[in-house]
Structure 1
Amino acid sequence: MRALVTRALGVTAATSAVLLLALAIVLVVLDAREEARVSDEHARQTIAAVLTVTTDHDTVRAAIAGTSAGVEGRLAVYLPDGATIGVGTSTPELTDGLRVATSLEDTAIVVTTSPAEVVDGELVLRIALLVLVTVVGAGLAVLVGRRMAHPALDAVRVLSDTAREIGLHDVNVRIKLTGPAELVTLAESINAAADRTGRLLAKEREMIADVSHRLRTPLTALRLDAESIGSGPVAERIRRAVTSMENDVDRIIQSVHQNSGEFGDRCDVSAVVRTRMVFWTAYAEDQGRICDVDLPYEPTPVALSTEGLSAVVDALMDNVFHHTPPSTEVGVAVVRHAGWITLVVDDAGPGVADPEAALLRGASGRGSTGLGLDIARAAVESTGGTIHIERGKLGGARIRLRFAEADSNHERQSPRAWRLWGQRPQ
């Protein structure tokens, strides 16, 4: 934008300067020509005045030498006695000179035999000065124009940078612009459009998440029922269909989570876990599982949407129900400490043989898609936290998510949350 404005100012200034320079040169040349004509006329009048007094050759010759035209050899005097003083190329009868009566009967003629040189050193110097002044003036005009356009250019730069930031990096950014009224109005329009887009996307994510959670509930029940119907081609086909549907739901939930948090979403971990555990506790009772839920009374805010965190809880609990036998004990706890909100899911199952490999997207050694832990990992890392797979206090797997608490200043090197349970490293 700055280059475009500079080019526009340069072209405008150069065009104006050339036109003004051409006009000035014409006027200077015309003025020089008029000065030469006046000078020649003054020389003739001077010699005429001398001739009215005397026609003495020496006196007239001295008078001619005192004029510029005489010095340049362009002035001649034709006396009544036939003598010619000065340089002449014409005869008295053919000249268009100044006739001077020297007596009652006699007349002398004063003639400039050639026009004065208009283009001389002085004229060249004047034109050179005009060119110099024009170039300097054009440059100053560009600088002054850029200076005057500086607020508008800054406003356009801020508008462009912020719009790019909204489009590519952080859609929660809003434009704070001061400058020309038109640009301020444009910035307000962009902000309003971004707000509307944010609301529409949030509503869309909420709808998709709601549908996904509604699908997960009957799918979990259907999978549990499918596992209990025994073997055979039909049972296997039902189980494969249920698994495929579960994979699709996991991908939808993960997609919703990856796009959440962009518009300032936040939720209370304890509230979300309490809501989702109503469903999972009921299923635990149906399977004869002991399900212990330990939640704090204090707020536990994190920078995640309710839908995103619900997907995490459902993914972790689904893993427990999927990979542990019925009646296996499970425990869920939330702890707030030192700027971190820790969500822990323990089970008394066989544990995770390779915790590092289990965190790879799509990795699973027990016949599942491996997307559940990937959903949890993506969610916790989006807040600046970490995920850990350990041997829990119930003897099986412990999935520990350390979410960074919303609006809390802390370092990533803060004490590990697992110390709160007195857990020994495995």
Structure 2
Amino acid sequence: MRRRISWLVVVTTSTVIVSFVIPLCLLVRTLAEDRAMAAADQDARSVAILAAGAPDDPRQLRAFVSGINRRGATTTRVLTTDGREVGGGPSMKQDPDVRRALRGEAFTVVDDRGGRVLLPVVVADGTTVVRSTVAVADLRRGVARAWTGIIGLGAVLLVLALVLASRLGKRISEPLLEVAGTAHRLREGDLAARAEVRGTQETQELARALNGLAERTGELLVSERAAVGDLSHRLRTPVTALRLDAEGVTDPELAQRLQAHITVLQRTIDAIVKEARRPVRTDLAPICDATATVRSRVDFWRALADDQDRDLRVLLPEGRLVVPLAVEDLTDLVDVLIDNVFAHTPEGTRLRLELHEVDHREPHVVLLVADAGPGFSAGGRQQREGSTGLGLDIARRIAAGCGGRVRTGTAPEGGALVEVVLPRAAG
């Protein structure tokens, strides 16, 4: 917008300046020509008066013409009735303009050879012709300097208009850019962001509308969280009652299955409660640096790995890998996968964790967790022996929430391999 305003002002100003500069330059040239021709006409008339008053005194006429030619920019010559030429220079007798003047016509000529004033003087014995000539350079004297000044003034006015337009565009565009920046912060999850109400009336109205939208969005998210949290708490009571009833079952095998199912249900409800209590600011378009988050969790688990004599090998990239997950979600995902290894493999089992980027059709971030333990069971739903599979379910749900996926298999070390593929986010 700022650039467009500047261009608009430049185009408008340049049009106005050109509309005045061109006629003014033409006027200056015309005035210069008129000034030079007026001087030539004055000299010619002075000589004509003398020629008419003293036609028989050629010396006086020659002296007067010489004096005029010395002091002025014009060249004056006289063709007398007896054919004598006063003033020097080429012969006047063959000049078409002189022949025209001999017929008694006084006139002025301006062409590419300069300007000429011809005056016939009728005396008793014939017609004397006076011709004053102005060179082309004298016709244009001072025009170039005047044009330079006029064009320079126009350029200065144009630059001044450009500076004023830039400042005006800045005053208009900066509040809009601030509103846009606030919108980006809201999109990234900072619901506390508010736009400053300033600028033009339209920009102020836009800022108020955006602030109102942010307030309403926060209210709706808080209301939704409260409803989900209340629902999850209401589920705790029947689950607790179900657990008590399961404890009263006499069949040990059935009781064990019921307790396992109730445990899964209880953990699912706990996850819902945890999700409901998450700060609202992490809900809108969350992103985080996967490299920094994974490195932080590895540092957290390394102490336990050293205590259990586990060989923890970590391969992380040097730069940032941004994924569309909140830091809390990625932290839970990494903790679940590492805890799965610690909980279901013997102490001393090697553990390898890698994070890298792949770029086939679209850029993705891949997190690999592999171990040298017993691996997954051979059943249709891959899970470790003695595990409920809840950890992998949590990882799958977190990955699927941002468009990712989780794949399991056998690691080169011989144990379990979990591969989490997450989309790469901008920024």
TM-score bracket for this pair, using the shorter chain length:
0.5 to 0.7
- Provide, for residues 108-157 of structure 1, a one-character-per-residue CA deviation record: whole Å limited to 9, x for no partner: 12234677447745211111112221111211222234445554344334
For 1:42-121, what aligned pairs fall within 5 Å after superposition?
42-55=42-55, 56-67=57-68, 75-86=76-87, 87=89, 88=92, 90=95, 92-95=98-101, 97=106, 98-101=118-121, 103-112=123-132, 116-117=136-137, 120=140
- Provide, for residues 289-324 of structure 1, a one-character-per-residue CA deviation record: whole Å limited to 9, x for no partner: xxxxxxxxxxxxxxxxxxxxxxxxxxxxxxxxxxxx
In structure 2, the partner of 1:423 is none
- Provide, for residues 217-250 of structure 1, a one-character-per-residue CA deviation record: whole Å limited to 9, x for no partner: 3234334544654543x65654554444445434
For 1:222-233, what aligned pairs fall within 5 Å after superposition?
222-226=242-246, 229=249, 230-232=251-253
Is the 8 Å Cα contact of residues 80 and 128 (structure 2) preserved in structure 1?
yes
State the Cα distance separating 1:261 from its structure 2 match: 6.2
Q: Go from structure 1 to structure 2 and tell me whether the alpha carbon gap of 1:74 and 1:215 turns closer, same or farther (over 3 Å shift).
A: farther
Give percent identity, aligned residues only.
Answer: 24
In structure 1, the partner of 2:370 is none
Is the 8 Å Cα contact of residues 246 and 258 (structure 2) preserved in structure 1?
yes
State the Cα distance separating 1:163 from its structure 2 match: 3.1
Q: For structure 1, which segment, 183-192 or 159-168, has the greater mean C-alpha deviation from structure 2 after superposition?
A: 159-168
State the Cα distance separating 1:257 from its structure 2 match: 2.8
For the pair 1:35 / 2:35, whether they are aligned, the reply is yes
Aligned residue for 1:177, secondary structure, equals coil
In structure 2, the partner of 1:191 is 211
* CA distance in structure 1 between the aligned counterparts of 2:48 and 2:81, rounded to whole angstroms: 13
Q: For structure 1, which segment, 67-76 or 243-252, has the greater mean C-alpha deviation from structure 2 after superposition?
A: 67-76
- Provide, for residues 324-361 of structure 1, a one-character-per-residue CA deviation record: whole Å limited to 9, x for no partner: xxxxxxxxxxxxxxxxxxxxxxxxxxxxxxxxx99935
Q: Go from structure 1 to structure 2 and tell me whether the alpha carbon gap of 1:4 and 1:237 turns closer, same or farther (over 3 Å shift).
A: farther
In structure 2, the partner of 1:20 is 20
Q: Go from structure 1 to structure 2 and tell me whether the alpha carbon gap of 1:231 and 1:99 turns closer, same or farther (over 3 Å shift).
A: same
Aligned residue for 1:172, secondary structure, equals coil
Aligned residue for 2:280, secondary structure, equals coil
Match of 1:258 among 274, 278, 288: 278
Q: Go from structure 1 to structure 2 and tell me whether the alpha carbon gap of 1:140 and 1:148 turns closer, same or farther (over 3 Å shift).
A: same
- Provide, for residues 269-296 of structure 1, a one-character-per-residue CA deviation record: whole Å limited to 9, x for no partner: xxxxxxxxxxxxxxxxxxxxxxxxxxxx
Q: Go from structure 1 to structure 2 and tell me whether the alpha carbon gap of 1:243 and 1:25 turns closer, same or farther (over 3 Å shift).
A: farther
Is the 8 Å Cα contact of residues 51 and 100 (structure 1) preserved in structure 2?
no
For the pair 1:214 / 2:234, whether they are aligned, the reply is yes
Q: Go from structure 1 to structure 2 and tell me whether the alpha carbon gap of 1:260 and 1:60 turns closer, same or farther (over 3 Å shift).
A: same
* CA distance in structure 2 between the aligned counterparts of 1:113 and 1:242, rounded to whole angstroms: 120
For 1:192-341, what aligned pairs fall within 5 Å after superposition?
192-226=212-246, 229=249, 230-232=251-253, 238-239=258-259, 241-260=261-280
Return 5+ residue gaps in structure 1 as ranges.
264-356, 375-426
In structure 2, the partner of 1:138 is 158
What TM-score do the two structures reach when normalised by structure 1?
0.53
CA RMSD of aligned residues (A): 4.1
Aligned residue for 2:195, secondary structure, equals coil
Is the 8 Å Cα contact of residues 61 and 85 (structure 1) preserved in structure 2?
yes
Aligned residue for 1:171, secondary structure, equals coil
* CA distance in structure 1 between the aligned counterparts of 2:231 and 2:17, rounded to whole angstroms: 70
* CA distance in structure 1 between the aligned counterparts of 2:334 and 2:248, rounded to whole angstroms: 29
State the Cα distance separating 1:259 from its structure 2 match: 4.2
Is the 8 Å Cα contact of residues 69 and 112 (structure 1) preserved in structure 2?
no
Is the 8 Å Cα contact of residues 76 and 130 (structure 2) preserved in structure 1?
yes
For the pair 1:152 / 2:127, whether they are aligned, the reply is no
Match of 2:335 among 335, 354, 360: 360
Aligned residue for 1:178, secondary structure, equals coil
Is the 8 Å Cα contact of residues 79 and 130 (structure 2) preserved in structure 1?
yes
Is the 8 Å Cα contact of residues 81 and 127 (structure 2) preserved in structure 1?
yes
* CA distance in structure 2 between the aligned counterparts of 1:52 and 1:205, rounded to whole angstroms: 115
Read off the aligned partner of 1:83 and give its amino acid letter. Answer: R
How many residues align? The count is 280
Read off the aligned partner of 2:158 and give its amino acid letter. Answer: A
State the Cα distance separating 1:204 from its structure 2 match: 1.9
Aligned residue for 1:170, secondary structure, equals coil
Q: Go from structure 1 to structure 2 and tell me whether the alpha carbon gap of 1:251 and 1:3 turns closer, same or farther (over 3 Å shift).
A: farther
Match of 2:146 among 122, 126, 140: 126
* CA distance in structure 1 between the aligned counterparts of 2:241 and 2:165, rounded to whole angstroms: 73
Is the 8 Å Cα contact of residues 74 and 134 (structure 2) preserved in structure 1?
no
Q: Go from structure 1 to structure 2 and tell me whether the alpha carbon gap of 1:94 and 1:189 turns closer, same or farther (over 3 Å shift).
A: same
Read off the aligned partner of 1:90 and give its amino acid letter. Answer: D
Is the 8 Å Cα contact of residues 52 and 122 (structure 2) preserved in structure 1?
yes
For the pair 1:181 / 2:181, whether they are aligned, the reply is no
- Provide, for residues 182-240 of structure 1, a one-character-per-residue CA deviation record: whole Å limited to 9, x for no partner: 222221111112222222222222222222222343234334544654543x6565455
Read off the aligned partner of 2:46 and give its amino acid letter. Answer: T
Aligned residue for 1:93, secondary structure, equals helix
* CA distance in structure 1 between the aligned counterparts of 2:25 and 2:144, rounded to whole angstroms: 10
Aligned residue for 1:360, secondary structure, equals helix
Is the 8 Å Cα contact of residues 29 and 140 (structure 2) preserved in structure 1?
no
Read off the aligned partner of 1:143 and give its amino acid letter. Answer: V
Q: Go from structure 1 to structure 2 and tell me whether the alpha carbon gap of 1:57 and 1:242 turns closer, same or farther (over 3 Å shift).
A: farther
